[in-house]
Chains A and B, each alone.
Chain A
Amino acid sequence: MAVQSEGGGKDDLKTHFATREGEYKLMPLSEYSKPTRVAYNGQANPPVKVSFVRVDDGSSSPDRLCFNVGRELYVYVYKGVRKAADLTKPVDKRIYKGTFPTCHDFNTATVSSDSVLLLVGFTLGQVQLIDPIKKEISKLYNEERLIDKTKVTCIKWVPGSHNQFLVAHSSGQMYLYNEELPSGQTPPHYQPFKHGEGFSIFTCKTKSTRNPMYRWVIGQGAINEFAFSPCLRYLAVVSQDGHMRVFNYNSMELVGTMRSYFGGLLCVCWSPDGKYIVTGGEDDLVTVWSFHEKRVICRGHGHRSWVNVVAFDVHTCLVCDEENCEYVSRDVESVAMHNHLQQPNANHVSNSSVNSGLGGIKVRDARSDSSQQNGSHLNSNRNSTEIPVSAGVHYTSYRFGSVGQDTDLCLWELTEDVVKQPCGKIRTPGGLGANTAASGGAIPRSNSVPNNAQKINSVGNDVGHHHTPEGTTHPIQSAVLNATNKFATLSVADRKESQDKKEHKRNFSLASRNSDRVGLLSKSNHVKPVDDAVKLYGTPACPRLDEVPVLEPLVCKKIAHERLTSIVFREECVVTACQEGLVYTWARPGIMNGIMPYCGQLKIDGFG
């Protein structure tokens, strides 16, 4: 099998791909893996995840990369796209017995030149805290597995916190730990703290505070991933039960729910402005959910298998400032100034204006940003902690990527015409879909037209027909949303139940039913089994296939032999990893051609 990955089928793998901003190239010398390649036999291994951190050590390579492969965990100096990886000298290397590392996270709030805290979760439920630089610290949590015996599926420091972290398990539970608190020698006794539809939260019932500080019981199956919003106020959690639940993290209230088309949801991420959440799952789809409207706005079909990871490319989202994005030719410098003021991490570009029709819109491209903010910015969009929610910065187009079990990388673009589509069109009870209308009942000539799916380009002819994208303002849109919802509620009796949560806010006529449910829940501290997959279908939480646009990927390329398990967008490159334990670096367009004006400076250290 080693033969296969080295030679053999290598030819069918893409080593470069092009988007409209240019060509992305695989950097063969920047490939990270175990120091010695051995025959791969890792089918049953946990997925290979990568974490980054920037350490201000005054060197020219301040980035550190951590990845797990099999029972091993490696931390390397990440040398980016220009310098070859040195696999012989890992910063840290650990081999575990009996339990496999599954996920990890660096603490970006406490990192210094000689110390960084790294959390590692394991298949048997344990959590370890290590310092791969100092190598002094090694603390274990849930060591005796008294708190949870199941696999750790996602682990993250609470953003900005020096000592608190969240650990999700495949048991469907999530725990808040404080690094400094003891775990106790006995299994924790819990008392109910808060609950709502599909979740309950408990605290530890002890005199002295101990770990875990909180226990969240969410949904019915494993929790697969969670992500904090860029403003840090909200937490999105995706589960094997097919739900994405968004909580207000501090008040612990459920503020929104989404349901997959079918099957478990495997991954989740927020747009850089916090307006949208993208999920991927076992329905082979990526699904975009609007945080403000609390509805699915589109789905994306490109993968031929389950979607393992989704991530926004913060560096390739189109921005313009709020007042001026509709006007043509805005002065580049002043846009830059404005954004600098509003958004400490924003970066701008003058060299690549993209969409012809819209003036003043620039590719946000961190590469051309000369110096000041790089330090705070490098831990992928997920770890960024300082981006305020859309304060003055107005995104007109979002780029995100996804990788899946089909070994494909897909890039997606979420444009304004999709974002501003009104909510699901009103269907006749018989359900003649948009597809019928669009294709006229005939078989499309091209194989590329997916069944039952509108092409993104055809969207304009369908739902959004009457609304020009620019003319549709948010109030109007929500009015349409309201009206549509009400219509749906009135006309289709069996959908009432699933709508009542939404209706509750505007229309108290259904309140009695709602309070019944709350009453039921309060009787038991357990999470009430929810079989709402069928009920939610056809609602904004899980629209029918023809009720929302179906996006096609900008790019869809096979880039590995084994299923892909990670994707991280960085300023200079995109980093992917696959089940085999190979971490690839893809240079962004222009980076290796020497045409970037700031190439030289990027090698200079000591930012921030």
Chain B
Amino acid sequence: MKIRGKEGSKGANASQLEKEIGSEQFPANEHYFGLVNFGNTCYCNSVLQALYFCRGFREKVLQYKQQQKNQKKESLLTCLADLFYSIATQKKKVGTIAPKKFITRLRKENAEKKSSSKAAATADNPTVKPDPTWVHEIFQGTLTNETRCLNCETVSSKDEDFLDLSVDVEQNTSITSCLRGFSNTETLCAEHKYYCEVCCSKQEAQKRMRVKKLPQILALHLKRFKYMEHLNRYIKVSYRVVFPLELRLFNTSDDAFNPERLYDLVAVVVHCGSGPNRGHYISIVKSHGFWLLFDDDIVDKIDASQIEEFYGIPSDMQKNSESGYILFYQSRE
């Protein structure tokens, strides 16, 4: 069995990838380009690649590029559109490209926002750009937050939109189970009591969050960086969490609009390493029926059976792992 290793990857250059896929099989109008690392930009590269291979997203970004041709004002989105356009219009099928403009812009905006420097937080940023509505069309779903007052039994529900779901992970579970856990009923008591409008007082209550509207692309963020109070820092949890190539949700609300949506896994952002402040991000994506591994400027074709190497590890002792961090599931219909 071929195990991905740093040395092995470096050896594989772009033309080898072309050979491996085969000129006959190479999908028409498809480009597999690695992204140059500008120093600690692997988190960004990996997310960019994952998004590039989210079908609807790429289409919309390229459309945006066409529409915005004359507009000069630079934004993160125009930089992204330029980058996607530049990949999509390459003459060669494989190679590397430097996402310089995008990175510069991203750094500038991050500095402006003075946002936290955590890779974990930044990694999601490209999906949460200034609000062009098609981003919501693709990624936005709705959660319904039901609370039942244990005193008067009144159930109140409140909807909120999401662009991705952050789920807690547990050892030797599946993403399905983690999602069930996300929607477990929690009891609000003691200092967390809930103000009931009917009782006009703070009461014990039960709360549950379920999915009411399922998005076109479901982005699932596994909470692999956990704050340890006794250590006063974040540590990585490398738990083995399996994720299937096909997914349906069990945690939908009774009035869910499209509860039976069937999803296919299209991309995974993987964190390699032992902690949030070190390590490396890579991504695996599905394109035209086969799987590719993007490691900055290196692109490798991998077998679907190798995906299991990115589930995480069952030993609680070991923190170091190459484990799935963000999963992108695309609706089949």
**A interface residues, Cβ below 8 angstroms from B:** 1, 4, 9, 43-44, 123, 151, 170, 242, 261-264, 282-284, 303-306, 405-407, 431-433, 435-436, 439, 441-445, 447, 450-453, 533-534, 537-538, 544-545, 561-563, 579
Contacts and interface: CB of A to CB of B under 8 A. Distances in A.
22 contacts: A44-B1, A123-B1, A262-B263, A263-B245, A282-B246, A284-B176, A306-B242, A306-B244, A406-B173, A442-B148, A442-B153, A443-B146, A443-B148, A443-B206, A447-B185, A451-B180, A452-B251, A453-B250, A538-B260, A545-B250, A563-B172, A579-B314
A452 B333 contact: no
B206 A170 contact: no
Contacts of B180: 450-451
A284 B208 CA distance: 22
Given A442-B153, A533-B262, A452 B172 contact: no
A9 B185 contact: no
Interface residues of B, number: 44
B309 A44 contact: yes
A12 to B, nearest CB: 11
B272 to A, nearest CB: 15
A444 B185 CA distance: 8
A439 B315 CA distance: 39
Main SS at interface, chain B: loop
Given A444-B185, A451-B183, A451-B210, A4 B317 contact: yes
A579 B206 CA distance: 39
Given A303-B177, A443-B206, 9 more contacts: A123-B1, A305-B242, A306-B244, A405-B174, A406-B174, A453-B250, A534-B333, A537-B260, A579-B314
Contact of B244 (A1, A9, A283): A283
Interface string B140-168: 00000010100001010000000000000
Interface in B29-57: none
Interface of B: 1, 3, 146, 148, 153, 155, 170, 172-174, 176-177, 180, 183-185, 206, 208, 210, 240, 242, 244-248, 250-252, 254, 259-260, 262-263, 305, 309, 313-318, 332-333
Contact of B206 (A439, A445, A451): A445
Contacts of A538: 260
A287 to B, nearest CB: 13
Contacts of A544: 260
A303 B177 CA distance: 8
A579 B308 CA distance: 14
B254 A436 contact: yes
A151 B306 CA distance: 13
A9 B170 CA distance: 15
B254 A441 contact: yes
Nearest to A406: B172
B218 to A, nearest CB: 13
Contacts of A44: 1, 3, 309
A283 B177 CA distance: 9
A43 B260 contact: no
B174 A304 contact: yes
A449 to B, nearest CB: 8
